[in-house]
Structure 1
Amino acid sequence: MKTAVFWSLFFLSGVYTGSAFAFSLGGEKTVNLVDQNGERHQVATIVFDSAGKDITYSIDWHEEAFADHFLSMRPFKCFEGPDKYWCRVPYPYEIRRSVSKQDFTDLEYDLLFVWKGSNEYGVNLWNGIYYKLAEQDNQLVGTLHEMDMDKLGVPPEAGDLRPVGETDLEAGDPDSHWLPRLVIE
């Protein structure tokens, strides 16, 4: 009986992590955009640093994977596909670049894109791409959500480092997008 009580308390206490978060938030990882055929396109490297009390990160974009475009009177770095381009949108406001096993918001803000047709001249900010990250199979997997990036045209109120809310995101249809997933491994 004492053994059963011990194991019950052990599992409930959170000490056991066998089924808990398996992705390591430490060291160097690769960022891949994944197309509809499952092919991975490496576009960046992330270094997670858990030396302090917070887990911070830095991103090194693989610039050779992106082409320079001047769209809607602004320079963009775009990952070119046959029919669509995925253009990086640097988050324009203050960001901590800190994550936890429960909160990847800062990293999601650093992985913003806007898509455009390959034969279109400009870019429409209502074609924003936001990858919501979750741990899956020892990776961070970003599920495509659509958003109107015009929301980012107005600075958030002082102290609001998280202006994009759930109501600003709409789950994207993976069949209608060239790069429906993002994987960090």
Structure 2
Amino acid sequence: MTFDAPSVCSSAEVSARHRAATPGTGLRLVTRWLGALSLTLPLLASAWELQGVKSLTVRPRDQAPIRIGSVTFEPRGDGRVAFRIELDHAQFTDHFLSMKEFKCLDGRVEIACHVPYPYAQPGTVAADDLAWLEHSLLFLYKLPTDFGAKLWNGLYFRFERSAQGLVGRPQAVDLNLISAPPAQLNIPPYRPALRDDIAPGARWIESVTIE
């Protein structure tokens, strides 16, 4: 009497038979993949870049945000990004302080005046270097009852990346430093050692955002 040898299935055949015996497995895998993709795509689509026209907004502590203009970013071929700031002067009032006209934002408790950087500068930034943008958004602050400009009351907004764009927190600087040209015009003068952190809520403008 003879017996047929038992058949031996390869691992591929076993896997195929298992999939055939469990209907819907492939569909569940596709569904999970599509679900993961649906979570990833919005993150990729919403990634903020230094490119195009962005809103420039001041966020005071006691009132609604104020859109004061825009910043246009234009990537260059050398890895740097050129920027151009356009202020909406309708949001500012003119103040003559120490024989000079300033564009100012009038708060109930404090007045903040934009101080244009007075010297030639490259006008470029990089993902890890926003210094020239920060130097282009210098302010000084004064009380409504103060007379004249006190240049030691300078505000420097240090920007950091967020999911929506850039957030600048105020630091204290002495604007007398730029009353004369720096020795090297291509180096931003307000290095970290010349800036002091300000306690949250101490100044009327709590932050500046670019989004």
TM-score by length of 2: 0.74
Structure 2 distance, partners of 1:166, 1:158, is: 17
Aligned residues: percent identity?
A: 30
Contact 1:94 1:161 in 2 (8 A): no
Equivalent residue, structure 2, for 1:50 = 75
Equivalent residue, structure 2, for 1:127 = 153
Alpha carbon RMSD of aligned pairs, Å? 1.9
Equivalent of 2:206 in 155, 177, 180:
180
- Further displaced range: 128-137 or 42-51: 42-51
Structure 2 distance, partners of 1:31, 1:80, is: 17
Equivalent residue, structure 2, for 1:5 = none
Superposed CA deviations along residues 118-171 of structure 1, whole A, max 9, x for unmatched, are: 121211011100000010122100011011111111211144431111111000
Contact 1:126 1:149 in 2 (8 A): yes
- Further displaced range: 159-168 or 112-121: 159-168
Which secondary structure does the structure 1 equivalent of 2:160 belong to?
strand
Structure number with greater CO (CA < 8 Å, separation at least 6) is: 1
Which protein has the bigger strand share? 1
Q: Structure 1 residues 80, 38: closer, same or farther in 2, change over 3 A? A: closer
Equivalent of 1:25 in 43, 50, 58:
50
Contact 1:139 1:183 in 2 (8 A): yes
Structure 2 distance, partners of 1:153, 1:89, is: 11
Structure 2 distance, partners of 1:104, 1:160, is: 14
Contact 2:168 2:208 in 1 (8 A): yes
Structure 2 distance, partners of 1:119, 1:38, is: 20
Superposed CA deviations along residues 27-64 of structure 1, whole A, max 9, x for unmatched, are: 11011111125731101111111154331011110000
Unaligned runs of 5+ in 1: 1-17
1:1-185 maps to which residues of 2 (within 5 A)?
22-37=47-62, 39-53=64-78, 54-185=80-211
Moved over 4 A (4+): none
